[in-house]
């Protein structure tokens, strides 16, 4: 089928008027028109792009087949206006040799349109075509998908990226809602159930008995500690340490040994005596020994002046406690033995 420039223009306009975008796309797909030619924001831009692309790539047979198929599907009124209302496959007498369908030729043809379409011509609505395929015939939302499908096929990678982004965004929204509403509700339910009487273990009575036994042991330890503190020898205060140091510094004490057994708690008292020795300048050492009777025993070399001074200081420290001073003829000069008995 060979058409001149003006006839092709008329055929293009007839297709644009009578067919929807979906019907045109269907015809183009039917005749194997390459997808990269299926562009344009309007039906006219789509048809112009297809015509030019097929002519530039010398696909005249494909173009002719498409035009012939489209003309066959036109309403009879449109075919009559094109001079093809008889045998649709016969060529009209006015058809001349084929001419190239170029942009310049198309512009010239468009300038001649008023001469071919007087105002008295009745335009057939696309809805009057029995062969029209419209996306409105599909149910929602399939009709929207069918309407946008040509755009999706023209840009598959963009569609895939948008689809993946939508899925990820939807998953994030669902996860956020789950964390905000579902999880706190579950935690609150678990907490409420844990406080119900039936959730308390059956061996609660045994646990209560064990707790009472532990409390009794703790109270016993507290009592023992209180008794120990009551029977412990208290340490010297800072003022007493200073007083003892001044009283003993002039008597030439070289060593001071403190004795007490395991039944006597005199550790803090011993530590305060060491502070006295540090101030005066003599050593205070722990010894291994004990005294049977409850008293404080002081042993010095005969006539050592520190003995009476110590008795006086001890009388102020423990006024009601028995004290005893006894010389050691064989003791070293300047040494003092200090025995601490059990406190009563």
What pLDDT sits at residue 237? 92
Under the banding of pLDDT at 50, 70 and 90, the label for residue 244 is very high
∠ at Cα 132 (129, 136), nearest 5°? 120
What pLDDT sits at residue 142? 77
Cis peptide bond upstream of 177, omega within 30: no
Stretch 280-285: mean pLDDT: 90
What pLDDT sits at residue 116? 41
Whether 128 contacts 75, CB under 8 Å:
yes
pLDDT in tens, 43-80: 888 888 888 888 888 888 888 888 888 888 888 888 88
What pLDDT sits at residue 136? 63
What pLDDT sits at residue 242? 94
Closest C-alpha to 245, from 275, 285, 268: 275
**DSSP label at residue 92:** P
The dihedral built from the CA positions of residue 28, 33, 35 and 39, taken in this order, carries a sign that is negative
pLDDT in tens, 76-126: 888 888 777 654 443 433 333 344 444 444 444 444 444 444 333 343 344
pLDDT in tens, 186-241: 767 776 666 555 555 656 778 888 888 888 888 878 776 665 666 788 899 999 99
What pLDDT sits at residue 226? 63
What pLDDT sits at residue 334? 80
Under the banding of pLDDT at 50, 70 and 90, the label for residue 250 is confident
pTM score:
0.36
The dihedral built from the CA positions of residue 336, 339, 343 and 344, taken in this order, carries a sign that is negative
Residue 174 has pLDDT above 90, yes or no: no
Which of 46-55, 133-142, 198-207, 295-304 is modeled with the greatest confidence?
A: 46-55
What pLDDT sits at residue 278? 92
b/e map of 275-284 (b: 16 or more CB within 10 Å)?
bbbeebebeb
Query: What mean pLDDT is reported for the chain?
Result: 76
What tokens were used for 334? Answer: 């300047």
What pLDDT sits at residue 112? 43
Stretch 13-21: mean pLDDT: 89
Whether 256 contacts 285, CB under 8 Å:
yes
H/E segment holding residue 284: strand 283-287
Phi then psi for 300, rounded to 5 degrees? -135, 170
**DSSP label at residue 37:** G
Give CA–CA dist 292/306, Å, rounded: 24
């Amino acid at each position: 089928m060979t058409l001149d420039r003006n006839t092709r223009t008329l055929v293009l306009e007839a297709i644009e008027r009578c067919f929807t975008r979906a019907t045109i796309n269907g015809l183009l797909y039917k005749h194997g028109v390459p997808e990269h030619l299926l562009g344009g924001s309007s039906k006219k831009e789509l048809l112009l792009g297809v015509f030019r692309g097929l002519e530039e790539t010398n696909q005249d047979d494909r173009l002719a087949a498409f035009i012939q198929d489209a003309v066959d599907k036109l309403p009879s009124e449109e075919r009559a206006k094109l001079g093809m209302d008889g045998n649709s496959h016969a060529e009209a007498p006015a058809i001349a040799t084929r001419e190239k369908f170029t942009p310049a030729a198309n512009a010239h043809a468009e300038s001649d349109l008023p001469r071919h379409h007087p105002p008295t011509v009745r335009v057939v609505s696309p809805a009057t075509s029995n062969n029209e395929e419209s996306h409105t015939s599909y149910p929602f939302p399939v009709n929207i998908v069918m309407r946008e499908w040509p755009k999706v096929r023209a840009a598959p990678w963009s569609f895939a990226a948008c689809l993946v982004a939508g899925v990820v965004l939807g998953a994030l929204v669902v996860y956020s809602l789950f964390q905000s509403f579902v999880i706190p509700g579950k935690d609150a339910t678990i907490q409420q159930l844990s406080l119900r009487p039936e959730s308390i273990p059956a061996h609660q009575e045994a646990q209560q008995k064990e707790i009472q036994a532990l409390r009794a042991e703790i109270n016993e330890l507290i009592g023992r500690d209180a008794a120990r503190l009551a029977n412990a020898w208290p340490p010297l205060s800072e003022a007493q340490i200073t007083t003892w140091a001044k009283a003993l510094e002039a008597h030439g004490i070289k060593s001071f040994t403190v004795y007490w057994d395991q039944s006597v708690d005199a550790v803090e008292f011993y530590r305060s005596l060491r502070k006295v020795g540090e101030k005066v300048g003599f050593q205070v050492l722990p010894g291994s020994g004990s005294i049977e009777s409850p008293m404080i025993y002081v042993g010095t070399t005969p006539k050592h002046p520190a003995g009476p001074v110590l008795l006086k200081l001890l009388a102020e420290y423990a006024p009601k406690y028995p004290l005893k001073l006894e010389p050691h003829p064989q003791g070293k000069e300047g040494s003092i033995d200090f025995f601490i008995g059990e406190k009563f």
